[in-house]
Amino acid sequence: MKARVHIMLKNGVLDPQGDAVRHALGALGFDGVDGVRQGKVIELDLAETDAAKAEANVKDMCEKLLANTVIESYTIEIV
């Protein structure tokens, strides 16, 4: 079973990288991009076959390591 974790900076936390990408898009002539937020995706290959258990386990991983919940939020997708 695979799990995909999406990690984004929380709303209100400054994202200098996203902002730099927004500026670069503007310079390339892509008008109308009002905001860019950059995050990351982590894919996990899991031995677990029970989706509910897998999700609980990945949530624990996010809280302990994968995300810094002071500044980041995460969503888990079981694939």
Binding site for other proteins (CB under 8 A): 9, 13-14, 16-17, 20, 64-66, 68, 70-71
DSSP string, 9-48: EPTTS--HHHHHHHHHHHHTT-TT-------EEEEEE-S-
**26 vs 51 by CB, closer to other proteins:** 26
Q: Least separation, in Å, of the C-beta of 1 and other proteins?
A: 22
**51 vs 71 by CB, closer to other proteins:** 71
**41 vs 52 by CB, closer to other proteins:** 41
Q: Least separation, in Å, of the C-beta of 8 and other proteins?
A: 13
Q: From the CB of residue 40, how many other CB atoms can be counted at a distance below 10 Å? A: 12
